Structure 1
Amino acid sequence: VGVVGHARVQDQQALQPAVVGAGLETCVHSTMRSANDRGLECLLVLDACVAYDPDLVAPARSQVEMSGGIFGAVGDTSAVLDALNLLNERLHP
């Protein structure tokens, strides 16, 4: 989360952003660590990320989840979509 990205997250009061992207073991992981340093609790949407080296997917996931989720939590797109649909139903019955 860069300076601009962090400001946008704060403006929206999103304290638990979902993180997706290319470069799971580099860019995505760095973004999660940076967001964690700023007090955000991130969800790594693993099946919406692409690793430069497929052999590093498991270690990247493990680093996020170590020590009870020190850098956040790991989920998948179906769980994110289910949660968003539930939220939408509650906001717009």
Structure 2
Amino acid sequence: MIENSTNHFGRIDANPYAWPFDGEWSSGDTALLLLGFQSGIVRGLAAEAERDTAMRLIEAAGRRGLAIIASRRGQDPEGGALARRRAVLGDEVPTKGSPDWQFDDSMSLPPAAIIVDHAGDNAFFGTGLEDTLRRHGIRNLLVTGLPTDGLVHATQRAANDMGFECLTVFDACKGTSPGRHDAQLRITTFGNGLFGAIASAAAIEAALGSHQE
């Protein structure tokens, strides 16, 4: 059952600071952001565990009334300069409408989920995502996705520059290698949280389960 009233939550045990920095977050001003949980990416990264963790968060966030936003990265059928460059670098961007471009079959998104399609790593670039968040009064983002060293980091850095308070859910993300995943998390927390904070899905679920009046 989804709660329609605005729920306020306690701060999350995160690194390098208790999130959010100002101690205020609620179902009315926070969104769960799911980046790149597409069939080809989940399969290519063997990210079934991270996908399942994200699914748990979808359920928990949905029960508390948080906005849920999911992004798909894809190229137009005719390709383009970005797609050609990515292919040379070994990063094949799925074609829009192809099976690999679709959300993973196990991802169960609620009917009200907002879908964002983009060509590059940054889900804000050329998509109107920022305007969507502003219209919904969102200022806090719980960030999940694939890969950590691609969509997750590029999008979170952009969000940080726009003034959104970001929390990377580190076990609902996976990099193209363990080392790259860990490196991006270190960059996120650099300088006492230059690009935000990081926390486990369990810490977020605990906070969502103990909302304040």
Give the TM-score taking structure 2 as reference length.
0.40
Identify if the C-alpha distance between structure 1 residues 9 and 86 changes in structure 2 by more than 3 Å, giving closer, same or farther: farther
- 1:84 aligned onto 2:196: no
Q: Structure 1: how far apart are the matches of 2:132 and 2:174? A: 24
Q: Which residue of 1 aligns with 2:139?
A: 15
SS in 2 for 1:42: strand
Aligned length: 89
- The residue type paired with residue 170 of structure 2 is L
SS in 2 for 1:86: coil
Q: Structure 2: how far apart are the matches of 1:4 and 1:23? A: 22
Q: Deviations over 1:4-29 (max 9, x none)?
A: 32223222322111000011011100
Q: Which residue of 2 aligns with 1:54?
A: 178
Q: Structure 1: how far apart are the matches of 2:139 and 2:153? A: 17
Give how far 1:60 is off. 0.6
- The residue type paired with residue 193 of structure 2 is G
Where structure 2 has 5 or more consecutive residues not aligned to the other structure, the ranges are: 1-122
- The residue type paired with residue 131 of structure 2 is A
Q: Which residue of 2 aligns with 1:37?
A: 161
42-51 vs 54-63, which moves further: 54-63
Q: Structure 2: how far apart are the matches of 1:78 and 1:8? A: 28
Q: Structure 2: how far apart are the matches of 1:62 and 1:84? A: 25
SS in 2 for 1:60: helix
| Greater share of helix | 1
52-61 vs 18-27, which moves further: 52-61
- The residue type paired with residue 80 of structure 1 is I
- 1:24 aligned onto 2:142: no
**Sequence identity (%):** 28
Q: Structure 2: how far apart are the matches of 1:25 and 1:58? A: 9
Give the TM-score taking structure 1 as reference length.
0.86
Q: Which residue of 2 aligns with 1:4?
A: 128
